[in-house]
Amino acid sequence: MAETPLTSIIIATQNRRDVLLNTLAEVRAAAGTSGPYEIIVVVNRSRDGTVEAVRNLQPEVKLIKAPGNLGSCAKALGVEKASGRYILFLDDDSYPRPGSIERMIEHLEADHFLGAVGFQVHLPDGSRECSALPNVFVGCGVGFRACMLRDIGSLDPSLFMQAEEYDLAFRMISAGWRVECFADCHVQHLKTPAARKTARTIHYDTRNNLIVISRYLPPAHFAIYRRDWNQRYRWIAAANHRLGAHIRGLISGYACGIADRRLYRRLRLSCEAVETLFRFNEIHERTAVLKRDGVQRIVFAEFGKNIYPFFRAARQCGLEVLAIADDRFAGPKRYYREIPILPVAEALDRRPDTVIVSNTSPVHAAQADKRLSAVTDIPVHTWFPQ
């Protein structure tokens, strides 16, 4: 009689047979000492022989054929068939490093209010991948309690790809579960930078982020973040010559958001949940300390996805924001709420009293701190480091 699995490892794929087979081999190597487990592969309408290859080479893998192409969110079909107490989501090109599944299980068993264990995501060039918010995981490496997913719902297939992690994490936090990313759980992701620049990616980035805002943000923050995120994704699309994809995503996101704003009313984030995700109070308290220490003139570093709490705190504390230093987003007549977005060197030439890294993404905040510390003797404050 087969041993009941402790962990169900779920992967979604489409037309990437060889990539998937490599991932399955890596997963088996990494999971060998983590206790009984099962692997479930959800196949999104593939025509490259993926199903036949897995059946021949890995017959013990559970295969599920999706009714169409559900993108990354096809993993939700695997949750329905999973037998494990814990569930690990991977992409077809991501796999855990040895020992990480065991540590994931240890974290979940040590804290019964912990719903999700986010992994540290490593890319082929040595860089890291991370969510813009410190309590949101990356979908290519995250562990869950199976009972929780069945209670609050898994990934939403209507989102297809992009921001599906935000939707699930916001729903979890709204339901009272903790979401945390751990430094001792690691996943390798063979993703290429070009994957972030396709028209499809930009369309769904715009559309789905607007949908998430409509679903979960309370009235005090809804319009603010809708404006901010639309502005940010528009500039990303322009840089990649994909404005048409952005506009299509904008129209779809607004249309879907109108209905979802009403349907998801009961899942609106509480004040405590907003603080967990966006850190308004923490950022205000740290800014107030700088004000008491005599700081008057500041520069923000990075036009981060969660820049608004930094802006609000500076205004409430009476600090003068001279510029936002960001080589990626700087451009002629580019402003964030009347603050010019300038190249880093030009922003630093304004000689602020201090620089605040206005990014709550731990990986990107740490990178910004390192870059700035190498080019200026102005104090740099990084409040959400890696």
Whether residue 92 lies inside any domain: the answer is yes
Strand partners of residue 354: 298
> For residues 168 and 153, what is the distance between their CA atoms, to the nearest angstrom?
8
Among 171, 191, 211, give the residue marking a domain's end: 191
Q: HSE (CB half, 13 Å, CA atoms) of 274? A: 18
Angle, alpha carbons 207-272-86 (nearest 5°): 70
Phi then psi dihedrals of residue 353, to 5 deg? -70, -35
For 90, the token pair is 């991977």
pLDDT (tens digit per residue) in 219-235: 999 999 999 999 999 99
Same domain, 137 and 203: no
Same domain, 61 and 167: yes
Same domain, 315 and 365: yes
pLDDT (tens digit per residue) in 70-90: 999 999 999 999 999 999 999
> For residues 143 and 370, what is the distance between their CA atoms, to the nearest angstrom?
30
What CATH number has the domain bearing residue 316?
3.40.50.2300
Cβ atoms 376, 353 nearer than 8 A:
no
Among 273, 296, 320, give the residue marking a domain's end: 273
Which helix (H) or strand (E) segment is 251 a member of?
Answer: helix 243-263
What CATH number has the domain bearing residue 83?
3.90.550.10
Same domain, 222 and 146: no
Question: What is the reported pLDDT for 32?
Answer: 79
For 356, the token pair is 């605040």
Q: What letter would DSSP give residue 265?
A: G
Same domain, 228 and 356: no
Whether residue 236 lies inside any domain: the answer is yes
For residue 322, give Cα distances in angstroms to 77, 291, 303, 374, 379: 50, 15, 14, 21, 15
Whether residue 223 lies inside any domain: the answer is yes
Whether residue 106 lies inside any domain: the answer is yes
Q: 25: closest CA among 123, 95, 98?
A: 95
Whether residue 1 lies inside any domain: the answer is no
Q: Look at the block and give the residue holding tokens 């004000």.
A: 291
**Beta strand 297-301 pairing with 178-189:** unpaired
Question: What is the reported pLDDT for 1?
Answer: 37
Same domain, 266 and 361: no
SS3 348: helix
pLDDT along the chain (386 residues), means of 10: 85 95 95 90 93 94 94 96 97 96 97 97 93 94 97 95 96 95 96 70 96 97 97 96 97 96 94 97 98 98 97 98 97 95 97 97 94 96 86
The per-residue DSSP string of 275-344 comes to HHHH-HHHHHHHHHHHHHTT--EEEEE---TT-HHHHHHHHHHT-EEEEEE-TTT--TT-EETTEEEE-H
Give helix then strand counts, H and E, for the chain: 14, 15
Same domain, 34 and 170: yes
Q: Look at the block and give the residue holding tokens 């487990």.
A: 37
Among 238, 273, 308, give the residue marking a domain's end: 273
Whether residue 386 lies inside any domain: the answer is no
Same domain, 92 and 221: no
Phi then psi dihedrals of residue 132, to 5 deg? -75, -20
Strand partners of residue 335: 340
- Whole-structure pTM value: 0.94
> For residues 298 and 321, what is the distance between their CA atoms, to the nearest angstrom?
5
Same domain, 35 and 168: yes
Whether residue 11 lies inside any domain: the answer is yes
Domain that holds residue 235: 195-273
* Long-range CB pairs of 315-321, under 8 A, 24+ apart, other chains included: 316/284, 316/287, 317/284, 317/287, 317/288, 317/290, 317/291, 318/291, 319/287, 319/290, 319/291, 319/295, 320/296
What type of residue is 44? N
Report the interhelical angle of 17-31 vs 100-110 (nearest 10°). 60
Phi then psi dihedrals of residue 89, to 5 deg? -90, 130
> For residues 176 and 151, what is the distance between their CA atoms, to the nearest angstrom?
12
Same domain, 52 and 145: yes
The total domain count for the chain is 3
Whether residue 246 lies inside any domain: the answer is yes
Same domain, 70 and 102: yes
